[in-house]
Each structure stands twice: as structure tokens, then as C-alpha cells.
Amino acid sequence: MSAIKIRRLLVCLPLTLSLVLSGCSFFPNVVAPPSPTPAPPQTTAPPNPQWTISPAAGTGVPLPDFVSVVAKIKPSVVAINTEVTAVDIFNRPFTQEAAGSGWIIDKAGYVVTNNHVVEGATNITVTLDDGRTFPAKVAGTDSLADIAVIKIEAENLVQAKVGDSAALKVGEWVLAIGNSLNLGVTPSEGIVRSLGASVPVSGQTLYGLIGTSAPINPGNSGGPLVNMHGEVVGITTVKILAAGVEAMGWAISTETALPIIKGLIQKGYITRPWLGVELYTVDAFVVLRYNLAVDKGALVTGVAPGSPADKAGLKAGDVITGMSGKEMADAQDLVQAIHASNVGQEVELAFWRGQTKGIARATLIESPPPS
């Protein structure tokens, strides 16, 4: 019986009782006994005159000394300004300016920043904390990790101290410092919100990220995230831009970044295991467009001539759904699985070609230098 029906029955009961009693009025000597009045429930607790607030244990934890942290790291943080040639709707070229941040990792003039800060730049200028300005050249970039190293020819540089991001704990204080809004290098405080995060950005996924509540604004990209010892533990890279979302930014951990930075300085690019395919994640549109037999996996859109994929017989239009016994639900799964493998390792690829399932074996090789 529904609540509404129950409520209606309860409302009608007194009326029914009243009708029955009024119908019995022709028995003048019959008197209904009075109903006993129930005792009200006890709803209040007795007072306790002796109760007091318990005193806090100890003297409390003092707030972190942000002033000394900023003093340690700020001389190593730089503002980066770039010029990129773009075209308007009439295909006319024009110069577009942008700003970002970076930090000095070596007194020889190597500066770490994000790849997206300097990507496609025709002119790069670095401004130091002491006001000196220098032109910069790209030493190496890695778009997959969104890390770049640029170099300036300067003396008396202050090298940042790199900390251990693996020692961070959720809730720990951190500072993001950089060229926020291109208004000069300034700090913002926050805490570590998460560790080891993965965030999709511009069609790819960044891994091993530190989530932070420290405000990250345009211009902060490439700047350092530092612990309370003034040590760099991350490279600020991205934040969520959405209505009602506040203080959700991410930084690439130094644990992830340092091997890449080393490779960029030593070789100018990063070598990884390479299959030699261009990929697109299978979705509902792709399934309908190509009449696929599966609704998930990595669609091969291109195969590099002479690559391991080419030698294994893979072709454009194939859908890779597994690698070495593990399911590949999308293109990122496959890319991550390849990068987690070793150069020279043979992998088994399960794929669909039309309505037919096949198996291909490929030996991964070192990725070629960027063109």
C-alpha cells in the first residue's frame, strides 16, 4: 500500500469513528469510557552541569614558511615568451605571442619547460629573476610527455634543487611558481590532491601526474611545483577549465620527468620501443563508418614502410584488440603497452581485418629520431 494511500486511511479513521459513535446515540444509557492519555515520550536529556570542552592536545602545528621556500626557488624560475607564425582565415601569416614558465636545471643554461610552451615557436626569449633577458634555442622536445629543454647562454645562473616526488604524500603542502598570466613570476600555494594520476590532454594521455590544489593559471605551464624544502618535485602542465571547477591542476612528477630530461639533453630526443603504426580509438562512429566486427580497440590508420608493423603484415584498416595476451580497449592502451615494452622484444598482436580475426608477431625496434 502506497504512502499516499496510507495517509488517506489515517485521515479517514477519526471520521469513521465519529460516524459510528453518532449512530449509537439512541442508546442513552451507554457511555463510552474515556480513553487514557498516553505519557509523552522522554525527548530531552538531563543537564550535566560539570561538562566542559576538552582542551586541545599539544600546541598545534605551525603553518609552513612559504617565504623561505619562495626565496630558495624563485632565482631558478624563468619567464618564457614565444612567437609562433600562424595564419588567419584568409591564409595570411601573422605572429602570435604566448607566455610560459621554466626552471633552470643546470648552470650551463639548460631550462626545463613544457613541450606545448615552445612547440612551433620561431622565437624564444627567457627572462631571469634578476631581469636579464636571453634568446633561447631548443635542446630537445618530447610531445608524448609534454616536456622540453631549452638552452640559454648566460652566466651566474642559479640551479634549482630537484627533490624526490616519490616521497610526496597526499595532503602535503606544495607551491606552484611561474609566469602566471604573463605578469611576472609569482607563487601560489596548495596541497597534493593525488599521486600517479592519468589525465587525457589533446588526444593523448599524460601519466604519473601529481594532482594539486595550487592555482595554475595560463603562463604557469612549465614552471616548477616545489615541496616545503624548496625542491622541484613536478612540472606544472595542465588544469581543468570548466564552470564550477576550482583548484584542479596537475604537474608531471620529477620521477617521470628526469629520465626524459636527461635523454633530451644527451640526444635531443627520446627513444622508445616502436611498432610503426598510426592509431585511432574505435568508437561508435568508426564502427559504423568502416563496418567493423568489434566495438573497441585501436584502429590502424597508417603503417610506416619498413617498420615492425609493416614486416608483421599489419595494414591500414586493421583493428588491434590485444597485445601479448592483454586486451587493448583503445589506442592509448596500445601505446602505453608498447612504451612499457623493451626494444628488441617480440610481441603478439591480436587484430581484426574485416570480419576475420588474425594474429601478427612483431619485434619492436628503437623509435626513429623526429623529423
Burial of 200 (0-12, 13-18, 19+ CB in 10 A): exposed
Q: What confidence category does residue 254 fall into, taking pLDDT thresholds of 50, 70 and 90?
A: very high
Instruction: Output the pTM of the full model.
Output: 0.74
Three-state DSSP state, 259: helix
In a shared domain, residues 283 and 251:
no
Main-chain dihedrals φ then ψ at residue 5, nearest 5 degrees: -65, -40
Distance from chain centroid for Cα 197: 6
In a shared domain, residues 282 and 260:
no
- Number of domains, the chain: 3
- For residue 26, pLDDT over 90 is answered with no
Answer yes or no: are the C-beta atoms of 352 and 332 closer than 8 Å.
Answer: no
Q: What confidence category does residue 198 fall into, taking pLDDT thresholds of 50, 70 and 90?
A: confident
- For residue 206, pLDDT over 70 is answered with yes
Distance, CA of 131 to CA of 201 (rounded, Å): 33
69 assigned to some structural domain? no
Q: In the beta sheet, which residues pair with residue 205? A: 200
Q: What is the pLDDT of residue 19?
A: 33
Sign of the Cα torsion 370, 144, 237, 112 reads negative
- For residue 11, pLDDT over 60 is answered with no
Parallel, antiparallel, or unpaired: how do β-strands 346-353 and 356-363 relate? antiparallel
Three-state DSSP state, 135: strand
pLDDT tens-digit profile of 301-340? 999 999 999 999 999 999 999 999 999 999 989 998 999 8
Q: What is the pLDDT of residue 55?
A: 75
Quote the cell numbers at residue 75. 632565482
pLDDT tens-digit profile of 12-23? 334 333 333 333
Answer yes or no: are the C-beta atoms of 294 and 318 closer than 8 Å.
Answer: no
- Among 232, 267, 302, where does a domain finish? 267
Tell me what percent of the residues of the chain surpass a pLDDT of 70.
84
Domain residue limits at 94: 74-151
pLDDT tens-digit profile of 126-151? 999 999 999 999 999 998 899 999 99
Question: Over the range 223-242, which residues count as b (16 or more CB within 10 Å of their CB) and which as e?
Answer: bbbbbeebbbbbbbbbbeee
| DSSP structural state of residue 181 | G
In a shared domain, residues 283 and 331:
yes
Q: What is the pLDDT of residue 45?
A: 81
In a shared domain, residues 212 and 298:
no
Average pLDDT, integer, range 279-300:
94
Average pLDDT for the chain: 86
Burial of 129 (0-12, 13-18, 19+ CB in 10 A): middle
Q: What confidence category does residue 82 fall into, taking pLDDT thresholds of 50, 70 and 90?
A: very high
Q: In CATH, what number is assigned to the domain containing residue 112? A: 2.40.10.10
Min mean pLDDT across 24-28, 48-52, 128-132, 345-349 is at 24-28
Look-up: residue for cell 614486416?
311
In a shared domain, residues 320 and 355:
yes
306 assigned to some structural domain? yes
196 assigned to some structural domain? yes
Closest CA to 136 of 183, 83, 93, 178: 83
Distance, CA of 360 to CA of 310 (rounded, Å): 10
- Among 86, 118, 151, where does a domain finish? 151
Q: What is the pLDDT of residue 203?
A: 65
| DSSP structural state of residue 332 | H
- The residues assigned a catalytic role are 116, 146, 221
